[in-house]
């Protein structure tokens, strides 16, 4: 799977795919990252999302937020050349769900935009948020802001929309690339994490509820 996606990314001119954010080797977050990957590698997704014993919740959320951002970046990057202003004039998840963009800063009033433009706004915004030392301090002796979990919830709410758009608008392309199983596994992991820590309001997940009912809930 990874080889196919790397090949696609090498040939893509999309600017949406951002450099991966990582943690310094030897740091607490790097160790948590390795622990999460090791548990995930066992195939037990339910265990992989659990907060490890004696660990800080904000640290666990920080590590996993970065990992999910990297994963979703890669997934969207694999089909970004097929997501164009012409094919995806709206950022939507079916006829009933259209997403407008606003970041509360430069774009305060929600605006309509194509899916690729929305993705560019979104990925840049997430990257800037994760790079902000006032939000995600790199030093372990610097505390997280008091509203950190609120910020994380907003990030995951919007990252969910990437999955919603991929499934509704690009699933057949994913199937043709042979990546259906990988996409489904990634989404199951994502869904189990956001439900474990109540990060996304159930109403926000309505566009994929049928998929959740078929794919995730029977095995959870």
Q: What is the pLDDT along the chain (220 residues), one digit of tens a residue?
A: 333 333 433 334 344 445 555 655 555 555 565 555 555 554 678 888 999 988 899 999 999 999 999 999 999 999 999 999 999 999 999 889 999 999 877 788 999 999 999 999 999 999 999 999 999 998 878 999 999 999 999 999 999 999 999 999 999 999 998 999 999 999 999 999 999 999 999 999 999 999 999 988 766 5
pLDDT of res. 141 = 83
- Strand segments, DSSP code E, in 58-194 are none
Q: Does domain 60-219 have CATH number 1.20.140.30?
A: yes
SS3 state at 188: helix
Residue 26 CA to residue 101 CA, distance in Å, equals: 38
- Determine phi and psi for 104, rounding to 5 degrees: 80, 0
CA angle 32, 39, 52 (to 5 degrees): 50
CB atoms within 10 A of CB 218: 7
Specify the pLDDT at position 99. Answer: 97
**Model-wide pTM > 0.85:** no
- Phi/psi-derived region of residue 43, left when phi > 0, alpha when psi is between -120 and 50, beta in every other case: left
Task: Return d(Cα 123, Cα 118) in angstroms, integer.
Answer: 9
Domain extents in the chain:
60-219
């Amino acid at each position: 799977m990874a080889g196919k996606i790397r090949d696609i990314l090498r040939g893509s001119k999309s600017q949406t795919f951002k450099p991966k954010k990582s943690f310094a080797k030897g740091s607490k977050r790097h160790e948590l990252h390795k622990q999460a990957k090791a548990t995930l590698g066992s195939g037990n997704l339910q265990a992989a999302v659990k907060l490890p014993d004696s660990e800080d919740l904000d640290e666990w959320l920080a590590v996993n937020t970065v990992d999910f951002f990297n994963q979703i970046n890669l997934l969207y990057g694999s089909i970004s050349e097929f997501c164009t202003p012409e094919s995806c004039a709206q950022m939507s998840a079916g006829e009933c769900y259209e997403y407008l963009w606003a970041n509360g800063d430069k774009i305060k009033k929600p605006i309509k935009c194509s899916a690729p433009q929305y993705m560019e706004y979104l990925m840049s915004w997430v990257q800037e948020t994760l790079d902000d030392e006032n939000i995600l301090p790199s030093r372990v002796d610097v505390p997280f802001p008091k509203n950190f979990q609120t910020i994380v919830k907003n990030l995951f709410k919007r990252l969910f929309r990437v999955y919603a758009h991929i499934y509704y608008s690009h699933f057949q392309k994913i199937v043709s690339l042979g990546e259906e199983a990988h996409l489904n596994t990634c989404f199951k992991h994502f869904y189990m994490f956001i439900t474990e820590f109540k990060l996304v309001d159930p109403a926000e997940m309505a566009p994929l509820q049928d998929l959740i009912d078929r794919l995730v809930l029977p095995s959870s």
